[in-house]
A and B are shown apart, each in its own frame.
Chain A
């Protein structure tokens, strides 16, 4: 089943203005890890806000788990599609971790005992159990962002959208977030949509989409997309460094396969070198 489905969706901020999203058709399958890539201003963030009704489409149909998104079922749709935004400082409503995570659960009017259970679940899911009573402003960027994820998880959505949630973090924070959502996807079965312009992050996804000027211009497995590297350049995207190295090595006559991390690349190189020397 499709978790999210767009059918001929268009959107512009002003009436008659330039389209942010143009006649878009795409879907997110239940349980998948989808990466949406695109340079700044390609319309990828608009996509996220349309998916749970923060923005209203000018035309077209958006379905969430088969149900058409309308003003009437907005509240129920938001229970199913959670979004984590970019700035770790702009998403928390309370000063204490536990109070902030409770916020979403309070909004959907859960009884108090259930909220307690949800907080436990959410903190565990992001690996921040020991920070339950911590002050949000004292946490690192990555930790704040994990609290933001926990805040969304407390509502128990089936789909988690990360709208450039790693853009403002340092490498360690970024890794924390990517590891966290990868695990949520694999272990909790949550559908993850990762919107990013860090190409390396897309390598974890099962499927990737490239957006340019409000349209989908490429889609497929991340590795296949990185193969088409000249095409990526025309959309203002560059290959992740590891992809570039693999490509250059191949061009130099060392037949390495595309890999995702340093360790497997080293293995590839070692294999090729030993083959060539024998």
Chain B
């Protein structure tokens, strides 16, 4: 459970896995911008093409990638139906009570679905191909300029890295305590709201106490290893760009250019 529940990292070796995490984060942002810049089907098709390429090179099973959509399927359907029924367009196909289905509404809804699906899939691709540790390193590195305004980037990254280390442990611990209380007849599955909230207490209190105990020991262990927080520290790992990163960069740059050019020459569909 602890492995699957967090980070959903898919362990394998691939072109995408080996990209620099900083670039991957930047690419994700660029890609999302591209999705929303694209306002005609040709532009969206370009975006889709790049995503398929990325999935192909990531060696993450396609089904697994699309699994991420399952979680927000309801949201997608809901917003699509809403737009479909209420969008104010000119070419009316059908009308009933307060609902109208228009050509523009259909096109807009279609765009919305594609954009949402692309958005979710590419974000999940990032977490599938990047370990939480690398992600933290990437974020830390990207935020580095903020140290100029005295923002504690290093400490923040330290906190994130420790959180990543301890989340699986705490999930495990929660499971253990829940089991222990279940064995003593605690019931977490049935009952009204009040009794369910009450049922959480025998889990929550031991969990809190153990977290404090862990925090205390970890604090001691860190101090014993000469951690002083503010003091100047060095850093062992440094991220480096490779040929892969350059290649991926060119691809994303081409995508943005393509989308912008298509936007100018073909005009907007939406």
Contact = CB atoms under 8 A, between A and B. Distances in A.
A binds B: yes
Interface of A: 49, 52, 54, 75, 78-79, 82-83, 85-87, 89-96, 98-99, 102-112, 115-116, 119, 136-137, 148, 151-152, 155
The 4 closest A-B pairs by CB, nearest first: A104-B225, A102-B236, A90-B217, A91-B221
A195 B12 CA distance: 42
A52 B224 contact: yes
A94 B132 CA distance: 11
Q: Is the interface of B mostly helix, strand, loop or mixed?
A: helix
B214 A99 contact: no
Contacts of B223: 54, 78
A169 B217 CA distance: 17
Given A78-B224, A99-B236, 15 more contacts: A54-B224, A75-B228, A83-B220, A86-B217, A89-B214, A90-B221, A93-B161, A93-B165, A94-B133, A99-B237, A107-B233, A108-B226, A137-B2, A137-B169, A155-B226
A123 to B, nearest CB: 13
Interface string B196-224: 00000000000000000110011011111
B226 A107 contact: yes
Contacts of A92: 165
B233 A94 contact: no
B258 interface: no
A96 B131 CA distance: 10
Interface of B: 2, 131-133, 158, 161-162, 164-165, 168-169, 213-214, 217-218, 220-228, 231-238
A112 B236 contact: yes
Given A85-B220, A94-B161, A105 B236 contact: yes
B225 A95 contact: no
A46 to B, nearest CB: 12
A110 B225 CA distance: 13
Nearest to B11: A135
Contact of B238 (A75, A106, A111, A112): A112
Contacts of A148: 221
Contact of B225 (A109, A136, A151): A151
Nearest to A79: B226
A160 to B, nearest CB: 11
A52 B227 CA distance: 13
Given A75-B228, A104-B225, A155-B226, A91 B237 contact: no
Contacts of A136: 165
Q: Which of B158, B217, B221, B231 has the most CB of A within 10 A?
A: B221
A109 B224 contact: no
B239 to A, nearest CB: 13
Contacts of B169: 89, 137
B155 to A, nearest CB: 12
A54 B132 CA distance: 31
Contacts of A112: 234-236, 238
A110 B232 CA distance: 10
Contact of A85 (B217, B228, B231, B234): B217
Contacts of A116: 236
Nearest to A116: B236
18 contacts: A54-B220, A75-B226, A78-B225, A82-B224, A85-B220, A85-B224, A90-B213, A92-B165, A95-B131, A95-B132, A99-B133, A99-B236, A106-B235, A109-B232, A109-B234, A111-B234, A112-B238, A155-B225
Contacts of B217: 85-87, 90-91
Nearest to B168: A137
Contacts of B232: 109
A91 B228 contact: no
